[in-house]
Structure 1
Amino acid sequence: MSSVLILCGKTCSGKTFLAQLLKSEFGYEETISTTTRAPRQHLNEIDGVSYHFTDEAHFLELEAKGEMAESFCFTDESGARIHYGTTKEAITQLTDMQKKVVAVLEPEGAVNLHNYCVQNNIPVSIGYLECPVSLQMQRYQAERIHNGNIEFTEGEKKSHIDRLNRMNGIEAMWDALPSYDFYIPVLEGEDALRDYVETLESHAELFSSIEEYKEPLNLSKAAPSSSALGERLFDKMLSSTKPESSIGFSIR
């Protein structure tokens, strides 16, 4: 029987790694989200593989036609609107084939997709990856700052500072949100998480939700952290030594 498992977590909590593990070892298929942001070159993102990249006009057209299973929008530090979403087609083409589906989403998108699945009688659950802030920052430094680049352009530097501000602003609220069915401990090591994944399917089945979340999440107006904080963190990460293997498994 088809089902949808939604993975939530902060930046660098290991969502993508866990989704890849579920695909390679447990037969899950992953949805590909649509976004209006630009591909991240330092992550080698590919259109149609990492995301479906599009412009705002086309994204809004999809929403207006009712083709999105979930979508949300936030305003970045520069004032630009960034849209993310998952089309209904991306979900149904997998569930119609009785596939087990994993989706990696932020909390607002997760609630929207959860409600879409409930309305269409698709078993669904939301798991949240609990990652200590110290480990999150170590991983960001290792994977995104010390990733082979010697120098960053002003645009790349601003992108990192914006992300670090978001990690210390809106993402700091995510741990306490009431919209998760179960929590996934993020452990410092691939083998430990791999052992936990073997029980994940039973968690997903046990907590498959049968009711909608009636109260929509409204996180877009959350106060951002000070822009000076992001800049200080970026400069510190750039100037210090890359963390060793204690950061655990590779993440995005």
Structure 2
Amino acid sequence: MPAHSADLPRQPGLLIILSAPSGAGKTSLYRALLERLDHVVASVSHTTRPPRPGEQDGVDYHFVDEAGFERLVEEGAFLEHARVFDRSYGTSRAAVEAERAEGNDVVLEIDWQGARQIRERVSDAVSVFILPPSRQTLRQRLEGRGQDDVTVIERRMRDAEAEISHYDEYDYVIVNDVFEEALERLVAVVLGERCRLEHRREVLGVFADRLMGKIDETSG
């Protein structure tokens, strides 16, 4: 968890939502954030899509079939779930809660549908939307992947417009033009949120009372 005085009780980790249209660079920023900051962990989603080359079950995603996914939905196992590009994705409630209880900040790489569900269920969630610098850049990034044909790229562009229309539902918006600058802004968001009283009120209340002499310094 974030560094703190030995007298400062452990604070729960943040729940950080990261959304963007396909091609905006969200995944690259997400991975770089995990490398840059300690005690920031990835949420491994469940999905019904097949693994891509190099992906590992339980590391990149928990790969399940449609029937298995629906069973998890019925059991209430997901904090959020959504249908994206004809595949289902979901975030494990138990896994997120366990990481936060350990003081780790959990980052969810999800679309606006999942983000909306999270905000309705988790009052202290922090949401960040990543925008591309232009439509032209977005298209170039999609074409540069070399993974999709023209039909799929056109569909992704249409879906990007729909995704972008929800940017104003988020707490923070970052334009990913120069990658390092966008990463610095994302890091600043996380570090700033770690200091917000809203997230730390209970923990800091005890700490402040000790500093003011209201609680014995030697008490647990």
Under TM normalisation by the shorter chain, which class is it? 0.7 to 0.9
CA–CA distance in structure 2, aligned partners of residues 198 and 87 of structure 1: 24
SS of structure 2 residue aligned to 1:29: strand
CA contact (8 A) 2:46 2:92 kept: yes
What amino acid maps onto 1:83 in structure 2? Answer: S
Give the structure-1-normalised TM-score: 0.66
Query: Cα gap change, 1:162/1:68 in structure 2, threshold over 3 Å: closer, same or farther?
Result: farther
Give 1:90 deviation, angstroms.
2.2
Equivalent in 19, 27, 31 of residue 16 of structure 1: 27
- Partner of 2:176 in structure 1? 186
Offset from partner CA, 1:219-242 (integer Å, 9 cap, x none): xxxxxxxxxxxxxxxxxxxxxxxx
- Partner of 1:200 in structure 2? 189
Tell me whether 1:137 sits opposite 2:171 in the alignment. Answer: no
Tell me whether 1:174 sits opposite 2:163 in the alignment. Answer: yes
Provide the aligned C-alpha RMSD in A.
2.4
Query: Cα gap change, 1:9/1:50 in structure 2, threshold over 3 Å: closer, same or farther?
Result: same
Identity %: 22
Offset from partner CA, 1:168-198 (integer Å, 9 cap, x none): 22321222224211101112x3332233234
CA–CA distance in structure 1, aligned partners of residues 101 and 73 of structure 2: 22
CA contact (8 A) 1:36 1:83 kept: yes
Equivalent in 115, 121, 127 of residue 120 of structure 2: 115
After TM superposition, the structure 1 = structure 2 runs for residues 35-184 of structure 1, keeping only pairs within 5 Å, are: 35-41=47-53, 44-74=54-84, 76=85, 81-118=86-123, 123-131=124-132, 132-145=134-147, 160-161=149-150, 163-177=152-166, 178-184=168-174
Offset from partner CA, 1:143-177 (integer Å, 9 cap, x none): 334xxxxxxxxxxx6xx456423322232122222
- Partner of 2:215 in structure 1? none
Q: Out of 160-169 and 88-97, give the one that drifted further.
A: 160-169
CA contact (8 A) 1:5 1:204 kept: no
SS of structure 2 residue aligned to 1:168: helix
Query: Cα gap change, 1:161/1:58 in structure 2, threshold over 3 Å: closer, same or farther?
Result: farther
Tell me whether 1:29 sits opposite 2:41 in the alignment. Answer: yes
What amino acid maps onto 1:29 in structure 2? Answer: V
Gaps (5+ residues) in structure 1?
146-156, 210-252
Gaps (5+ residues) in structure 2?
1-10, 200-220
CA–CA distance in structure 2, aligned partners of residues 48 and 135 of structure 1: 33
CA contact (8 A) 1:9 1:128 kept: yes
SS of structure 1 residue aligned to 2:161: helix
CA contact (8 A) 1:94 1:101 kept: yes
What amino acid maps onto 1:141 in structure 2? Answer: E
Give 1:26 deviation, angstroms.
1.4
Give the structure-2-normalised TM-score: 0.74
SS of structure 2 residue aligned to 1:108: helix
CA contact (8 A) 2:21 2:159 kept: no
